[in-house]
Amino acid sequence: MPDIRKAAKAYRDLPLKESIKLLKSPIHEERLLALLIMVLKFQKAQTEAQKKTVYKSYLANIKHINNWDLVDLSSHEIVGSFLLNKSKKELYDLSKSKSLWERRISIVSTYRFIRNGQLKDTLKIAMILLKDSHDLIHKAVGWMLREAGKRDLGALESFLKSCYKSMPRTMLRYSIEKFPEKKRLAYLNGEV
């Protein structure tokens, strides 16, 4: 990973078209490099139009973002950052996708919102994904719920009290990981 990050910094000025070619590679590390370059391009962009171009390119090539680390290292940096103060409709659409990776992008992108004190969309998308059958979604939702709880424990507990008994165990465990042991055990034992 350190070598890939170094390469991304060295090639941060690679034209977006070339980054997209790299993103289409069958080699995972090349796709990761492409996404890290795109993140740097997004962060370096000086205009809204430049940011939008990177964002649109990301979504147009979403089928190549097909592993948990690719999603986790890029979605909140590009999708979440771009949508921070805009309509979140595209995220809600992704949350209902048949694609595991698009659903994961929908929840992990909200990490940017959480960091900016905006929890509403994280909680709403978590509710949409509550019955998802895939463990990688359970982990991502639990992770985002835990992060939301760091900002507003009351909001997390309110969410949990409404649905913790029906949550997948992995999702619940991740979301309450930082709770004091007594409270954590109460949730795990259904005694809240």
pLDDT tens-place string over residues 26-68: 999 999 999 999 999 999 999 999 999 999 999 999 999 999 9
**Dist. CA 9–CA 100, nearest whole Å:** 29
Q: What does CATH list as the number for 87-192?
A: 1.25.40.290
Helices 100-108 and 135-151: crossing angle, nearest 10°? 10
Q: Which helix (H) or strand (E) holds 60?
A: helix 48-60
Percent with pLDDT over 90 in the chain: 96
**Dist. CA 38–CA 27, nearest whole Å:** 17
Locate tokens 């390469």: which residue? 7
pLDDT tens-place string over residues 60-86: 999 999 999 999 999 999 999 999 999
User: DSSP state, 1?
Assistant: -
**Average pLDDT in the chain:** 96
For the chain, the residue count is 192
- Give the pLDDT band (50/70/90) at residue 192: confident
For residue 28 the two structure tokens come to 């995972």
The amino acid at 100: L
Region(s) of the chain under CATH 1.25.40.290: 87-192
Helix, strand, coil content of the chain in percent (nearest 5): 70, 0, 30
